[in-house]
Structure 1
Amino acid sequence: TIWAGVTFLAYTLASEKMPWLLVNITLPLIFLSAKFLGDLAESVRWRLALRRGAAASFFLAPLAALGGLFFLYAYTGNAGDDGGISGQHWAVLAGSAVVLAAAAYLVRITSNAGGGAVAALGMAALLLGFGIWSGLRAAYTFDDSNREILVYAQGGSDLRETFASLEDRVFSQSLEEAGPNLTPRRVVEVDYDIWYPFQWYVRDAESSGLLRFTCFKVEDDDGWNDSCNSLETPPADDEFKPTSLLLTADHAGRSGAELEGYEKSEPLHSLLWFPETYRRPSEARQDEEWKDELKKDLGFFKDVATSRGAWRSALGYWIFRDLEQDWFTGDYYQFDR
């Protein structure tokens, strides 16, 4: 507990809130939770509990919780002052209250057999179901169709499709077939600003001399150097011309002479970030005093805690992984001739 608490405090003060840092916080809590659940299971006198009907509380407690979540999700809807609730939702709430009362009664009359522990284990099983679903989506969905906060940042699936296209059209040919005038130009030239994570796909093509990462900045851009290609100078007739160019969105809007004769693609995604809708709007933590930062954070938390819309969004993502806002993206364009 101390390990998790101190780490959480350190990350908070350092303004480091990347999801993968949660591993360092959750690992000790996972051990503690496993120990706690093991002690709960050992505390139950199972034969006596089953004989007295305490096993029903294993199902009744999570059933009541699900009913309450169903009502709360409807209540936080936008349909009028009463949210999105109807007679059906009130019936579910009433039924959940009855189920909760029944579970509480069973826990009370089976307390000497560990009825409360059985109900707690039922709630743990419910949370396990949510965790398994989230884990499977995060671990075994390889494209960017699911916006998972645990993933937070990743390469876009467009990179994989771009590589497959280049592999089929360009990389499948040998270096000799590509032509002798490949120095310093290459058949495929990629803007260095999308080096990561595209280099994982094209490392063999790069080592074979079919592709290179290079700079396409103009002189006024940050990071410009003499080796950068501004795309403004038309190549000579006998000069080698790349088959494909991959440029970031910042560099693809130019009308340079070198881009004449190339066909421009639709915008493609190179990097994706989880939309940080949980952040305080217009925060500037590096420039704020810690007292002002804490005051603004508490005010933001108060506004969120009393907002139906915020509760609706949180429940929608937690239960259904429903998120209205799309990924934050880093885009690029493919130019082919």
Structure 2
Amino acid sequence: IHAGEKMPWLLVNLVIPVIILAGATLSDVVSSIKWREAWRNYAGFALIGVPVSYLLIWKLAFNDLASSSNQFLTTWMIFASLGFLLLGFQVVSGRIGRTQSFGIIGLVSVVILFGFTFRAGWIANYENGDVPQEMLVYTQTSPDLHDLANEIDRTAALTGHRSAIKLAIDTRDAYQWPWQWYLRRYTEVVYSDHASDKAVIGDDRLVVVINEHNNSKSLDKLPEGFSKGRRFVHRWWFPERYRDVKPGEFFSTLIDRNRWKGSVDYFLYRKLSNPLGSIDSYVYFSDEIPLVPAE
């Protein structure tokens, strides 16, 4: 499970049997329904009735009965509408049977859930691919690091040193990765853990990256002529508030309507009630870096 948290693709082998079982179940349901008979007996109204029922239940769950008389009236209108839809279900069930009726409702529900699944997959892959607002992204190198790597490339071009620009990278907390990948073409990179008193920053370094835990200590080692440090996110992860949740608190959220809203906000808009966890770094640039490309 611990490995699965960090690498969700390891769970695929567990999900595949469930997918196959779900497909077989849907096939059985579809083949068990007499579609022409169901259509003649108005079962097609399920295409409208089922989504409307879910919307009404959704509205009912988040409707504040005590806020105003209009809200109270709205609530009773929702109950009346649900009663009308339930009556329609009874009529159709009397004609085609409850088994087929529930089967059609289930199939329409699957289509609705597929829409939500597709939306969630799209957001996770194309909108929040490297942002841990998604539970799928457990621990992720932040986009700040990629942006800084591009900035170092531009700095190397400005100095004229190209791949020989002199860099210093703090390796505390395994910070050498992914810098070793981004800076693989550079030949003058010094990797050292600045938690050690033996670690030094050479006077010839033009760009220095320091782990936030070593920053205050490394300021004394930093040669003169460097810019003020700029903080950036190195790694970040989904909020780990769930680690401290007790069973009583968990079950209380199931009956606390005020907390339901937080779950809905996350499900629909990926709004988090707790900040992302992160571990940061500081980058320092030498004042010797020219403002225009070196000739």
- 1:136 is displaced (CA, Å) by 0.7
- TM-score normalized by the length of structure 2: 0.80
Show CA shifts across 1:14-64 (max 9, x none). 897557254344332222111111211111222222222212213322321
Instruction: Provide the residue aligned with 2:195 in structure 1.
Output: 217
**Pair 1:200-2:178 in alignment:** no
CA contact (8 A) 2:131 2:137 kept: no
- 1:173 is displaced (CA, Å) by 6.8
Distance, in Å, in 2 between the alignment partners of 1:43 and 1:299 is: 43
Q: Where do 1:99-248 residues align within 5 Å?
A: 99-111=85-97, 114-141=100-127, 144=130, 147-170=133-156, 178=164, 187-193=166-172, 194-205=175-186, 209-219=187-197, 226=198, 228-229=199-200, 240-248=203-211
Show CA shifts across 1:216-268 (max 9, x none). 1134xxxxxx5x33x5xxx5xxxx52111111111122331424321134321
Distance, in Å, in 2 between the alignment partners of 1:101 and 1:252 is: 69
Instruction: Provide the residue aligned with 2:232 in structure 1.
Output: 268
- TM-score normalized by the length of structure 1: 0.71
Letter in 1 for 2:25: F
Structure with greater helix percent: 2
> C-alpha root-mean-square deviation of aligned residues, in Å?
3.3
- 1:87 is displaced (CA, Å) by 5.0
Seq. identity, % = 21
- 1:311 is displaced (CA, Å) by 2.4
CA contact (8 A) 2:4 2:11 kept: no
CA contact (8 A) 1:60 1:99 kept: yes
Instruction: Provide the residue aligned with 1:8 in structure 2.
Output: none
Unmatched tracts of structure 2, length 5 or more: 287-295
CA contact (8 A) 1:107 1:119 kept: no
Instruction: Provide the residue aligned with 2:289 in structure 1.
Output: none
Q: 3-state SS of the aligned residue for 1:267?
A: strand
Distance, in Å, in 2 between the alignment partners of 1:36 and 1:145 is: 35
Distance, in Å, in 2 between the alignment partners of 1:159 and 1:151 is: 17
Instruction: Provide the residue aligned with 2:25 in structure 1.
Output: 36
The change in CA–CA distance for 1:107 and 1:167 in structure 2 (over 3 A counts) is farther
Q: How many aligned positions are there?
A: 280
The change in CA–CA distance for 1:32 and 1:19 in structure 2 (over 3 A counts) is farther
